[in-house]
Amino acid sequence: MRKVILVTGGAGFIGSHVVRLFVTKYPDYRIVNLDSLTYAGNLENLADVKDMPNYTFEKADITDDKTIDALFAKYQFDTVIHLAAESHVDRSIMDPLSFVKTNVLGTGTLLNACRIHWKDHFDEKRFYHISTDEVYGSLGKEGLFTEETRYDPRSPYSSSKAGSDHLVRAYFHTYGLPVIISNCSNNYGSHQFPEKLIPLAIRNIKNSKPVPVYGKGENIRDWLWVNDHARAIDVIFHQGKKGETYNIGGFNEWKNIALIYLLCEIMDKKLNREKGTSAELITFVKDRAGHDLRYAIDATKLNRELGWKPSVQFEEGLEKTVDWYLENETWLENVTSGTYQQYYEKQYEKRV
Ligand code: NAD
Ligand code: DAU
């Protein structure tokens, strides 16, 4: 069946993996990647698929309703996979309103374009919203987030994502728009912007710079290989039921400090450094404001109903990730030149 799919945020980390998977796996689908190319968007991420006949790129902002309207008229999208967002918690603490604008207003603008252009003819239409486990708040030592867990976001990022999830459900209940939401745990893998923990630590270890660990490194995250997230999105997009929510996670909880020690070990091996060299770079710094203690996803619904499960063990995925960053020095140099330095200084200068 031919589809015309709008993917938003396709030049970012997860979006580029989703675009690559869909463009290569489904030659009959037309994939239009809409991205405003913020600091996190990078067309180099899609260099290998940019000339495929079923792929098109449109530079546009999801909050610009006139342009979104014109693009819906031009392409007649029948499905949307919405990933575009401001995605970094630390930046949301520095500049919360840009998160409200992109994540809430931007999602509302896309939903409204679907409502107007699809004109109640919703058969075969889908609005698939990619969200995060952070909307559920912070766990104590026990328990897991299920699809029924009450929303309790605590950062400007997570509350703006929660706001977008609520808008998506409102369009389902009010207008009957056929929506699906998935909430995923922390992703890692190639092409992640080095403001996030794993690529930031890889870069700093490589350059023998301090590796900043917030607080005591006791916070826990549930890590999933980005390619497994993209596979889950493929499965949910094709088989998920409208109006439903699916949690996606790695069944893979790590304390930050334990993860960093593992990464240091891998880096010592890859860089032929004496064991323990990289761990000397670990530097405990001032904690993140409102730092959520623990995230952990119960992804059994997705496994039971749609048969998905992660394919890669963490140690293997982390090693592949390290290899990718070490082999792609130019990519790393390009994304960390210019404004990255200003961000890094502002974020870390007074923390040590
Ligand atoms: P990212 O920051 O790497 O990429 C975001 C992309 O959105 C960039 O290409 C950027 O240019 C684009 N974008 C931002 N504002 C835009 C705007 N106004 N108009 C058009 N494009 C815009 O983010 P990511 O880590 O790939 O996350 C993608 C999505 O997945 C987000 O919605 C995020 O909330 C969600 N998510 C991320 C994770 C994770 O661990 N990274 C986990 C769960 C869910
Ligand atoms: O859980 C899903 C979320 O995971 C996504 O929705 C977000 O888009 C994504 O950014 C991620 O959020 P986190 O805040 O968990 O990811 P980050 O990589 O920023 O931080 C991971 C953990 O590491 C967190 O406990 C904070 C800590 N940390 C982070 C940085 C950048 C450090 O200790 N030092 C650092 O320098």
User: Looking at the domain 3-188+221-248, which fold is it?
Assistant: Rossmann fold (3.40.50)
Ligand in closest contact with the CA of 160: 1
What contacts 350, CB < 8 A, 6 or more positions away?
Answer: 286
Q: Which of 6, 14, 57 to mutate to test the pocket of ligand 1 (most atoms within 8 A of CB)?
A: 14
Whether residue 132 has its Cβ less than 6 Å from ligand 2: yes
- Alpha-carbon distance of 153 to 26, in angstroms, equals 36
How far does the centroid of ligand 2 lie from the alpha carbon of residue 295, in Å? 11
Ligand 1 in reach of 36 Cβ (< 6 A)? yes
pLDDT at 274: 97
Annotated catalytic residues are 133-134, 157
pLDDT value for 167: 98
Yes or no: say if 44 and 98 are a contact pair by the CB < 8 Å rule: no
Question: Is the domain defined by 197-220+255-292+315-348 classed in CATH 3.90.25.10?
Answer: yes
Give the residue ranges of the chain where pLDDT is below 70.
1, 352
Ligand 1 contacts CB of residue 15 (under 6 A): yes
State if residue 83 touches ligand 1 by the CB under 6 angstroms criterion. Answer: yes
Which spans in the chain are helix H? Answer: 13-25, 65-75, 89-94, 96-99, 106-118, 156-175, 197-206, 226-239, 256-270, 300-306, 314-327, 329-336, 339-348
Assess whether the C-beta atom of 88 lies below 6 angstroms from ligand 2. Answer: yes
Backbone φ and ψ of 235, nearest 5°:
-65, -45
Backbone angles phi, psi at 100, to 5 degrees: -60, -45
Measured from the alpha carbon of residue 134, the closest ligand is 2
**Domain boundaries defined on the chain:** 3-188+221-248, 197-220+255-292+315-348
- 33 close to ligand 1 (CB < 6 Angstrom): no
The pLDDT value recorded for residue 350 is 74
pLDDT for 123: 87
Cα 280 to ligand 1 centre (Å)? 33
Q: Which atom of ligand 2 is nearest to the CA of 134?
A: 1
Atom of ligand 2 minimally distant from the CA of 288:
26
Looking from the CA of residue 184, the nearest atom of ligand 2 is 2
The ligand with the least distance to the CA atom of 14 is 1
CA-nearest residue, atom 8 of ligand 2: 87
The 10s digit of each residue's pLDDT in 233-273 is 999 999 999 999 999 999 999 999 999 999 999 999 999 99
Going from the Cα of 40 to the center of ligand 1, the distance in angstroms, rounded, reads 8
